[in-house]
Amino acid sequence: MVSDGKTIAGVAGEVRVIAKAVNGHFAVSVMDTGPGIPEQERTRIFEQFHQIDNSNTKAKGGTGLGLAIAKQIVEMHGGRIRVESTLGKGTTFLMKLPTRAEIGKNAP
């Protein structure tokens, strides 16, 4: 997410990562100052091979797997991931992970 954020935000853009422990979980935010994600795309960005249909983002490459993999890893650890975005201002990915693992809860 950090690498993607920097790619999308560009040379003049900014990416911030904030991580903290809060009430039995870790809260991690990755924020960028890129162009933002259109609302109609936000429900699909965690799908495998999905890329935003935008010449600016498609020109930067990628397979459309990064967010799908990130979501799977977060959920396998008992966490949640979501996105907030404002067009023209940027995007924030928010992850919430438990600080203690529950044995067998998410085992295959």
pLDDT of 43 reads 83
- What are the average pLDDT values for consecutive 10-residue runs of the chain, which has 108 residues? 74 88 93 89 78 54 78 93 94 92 58
Q: Quote the pTM value.
A: 0.76
| C-alpha triplet 26, 83, 86: angle, nearest 5° | 130
pLDDT of 55 reads 46
3-state secondary structure 47-80: CCCCCCCCHHHHCCCCCCCHHHHHHHHHHHCCCE
- The secondary element (H helix, E strand) that includes residue 30 is strand 25-32
pLDDT of 104 reads 58
pLDDT of 7 reads 77
* Sheet with 25-32, side-by-side order of all strands: 15-22, 25-32, 90-98, 80-86
